[in-house]
Amino acid sequence: MDAVPDHDFSRRLTAVAAEAESALERLLGDDALPNEVLRPPRLMEAMRYTVLGGGKRLRPFLVLESAALFGVTGEGPLLAGCALECLHCYSLVHDDLPSMDNDDLRRGRPTLHKAYDEATAILAGDALLTLAFDILAREDVHPDAKVRIALVRELGRAGGIGGMVGGQMLDLAAEGRFEAKRALSESEIITLQAMKTGALLRFACRAGGILGQADASASAAIDRYGAIVGQAFQIADDLLDVESDTATLGKAAGKDAAAGKGTLVTALGIEGAHAKLDELVAEAETVLKPFGAKADTLRAAARFIANRRT
């Protein structure tokens, strides 16, 4: 019997998403920056279009829940989660650009470069990326500057060369954009996905440990959990690309095969990818064992991430 039934989990995710939404609304509102800062209206509108009114808010959710595991709640984790969500939204805007995945639909609406224009999309993405670090450096995130610096450093790494950006580079290279296309091995795909998607989800979980100043063994456990759900998340994304449809996903389905992307679905087959997800959920249960019942929501989150329909 699951300690947190899936319907309770969905309710909790919905509640956190609403909390994140209103915090993001504040962070991108008229009073969000000091008075002397000029805010080009088109840039602000484009940033708000991208960030507000959509998205599962899974990354803020994981920050909040992993921080709660270490007894930290309130404004600090919420701000850290919003910083990560801003960086995630930037990654989606740039991922959708014509020179990247060339997508017209995101979160059920025209992508930013379609709704506005390409230059605005690039700049709004840049501004969301830098806003993420502005938010993380604020005192309300944590009173101890060392904790804030650790968050800034970890997010920089998760979002950068060895993380999301590096993974995006490998992803495009694997499509044969820069050199002759070559099939990736399973372990190459795992590495690529750990970077392009896993790193930000892993950061979400690590952030909880950092905010809670967790000891070495608890930090290692939450980090491992983050890596597992990060991997599960992209396998689910690749399965949805094959098994779902554009209306349900709010983004174009069936694009990976068309682009000849190497995914674990191509490497393992649909059945094999589902089996891998089951394995990862079981692994998540194992690494959370030391936390006992306190980690029940994170257990439910691993199941949700593996079985998500959008």
The answer to whether the CB of 71 falls within 8 A of the CB of 138 is no
253 φ, ψ to 5°?
-95, 165
Q: Report which residue type is found at 33.
A: L
Q: Which of residues 2-21 bind ligand IPE (CB under 6 A)?
A: none
- Residue 92 as a binder of ligand IPE (CB under 6 A): the answer is yes
- List beta partners, residue 110: 105
Pick the stretch among 52-60, 113-121, 124-132, 287-295 that binds ligand IPE (CB under 6 A): 52-60
Q: Are 118 and 98 in contact, with CB atoms under 8 Å apart?
A: yes
- Closer to ligand IPE by Cβ: residue 66 or 91: 91
In this structure, the dihedral spanned by the alpha carbons of residues 127, 133, 134 and 136, taken in order and rounded to 10 degrees, is 140
- Between helices 145-159 and 75-96, what is the axis angle to 10°? 20
Q: Which stretch binds ligand IPE (CB under 6 A): 54-62, 111-119, 134-142, 298-306?
A: 54-62
Give the shortest CB-164-to-ligand IPE separation in angstroms: 5
Interaction between residue 196 and ligand IPE (CB under 6 A): yes
Does residue 114 touch ligand IPE according to CB under 6 A? no
Look-up of token digits 């949700």: 304
Half-sphere exposure for 93 (CA within 13 Å, toward CB): 29
Question: Does residue 193 belong to the site contacting ligand IPE (CB under 6 A)?
Answer: no
Contact pick of 65, 95, 223, 283 for ligand IPE (by CB under 6 A): 95
Binding residues vs ligand IPE (CB under 6 A): 55-56, 58, 91-92, 95, 101, 107, 164, 168, 196-197, 234, 237, 251
- Binding residues for Mg ion, rule: CB under 5 A, are 95, 101, 237
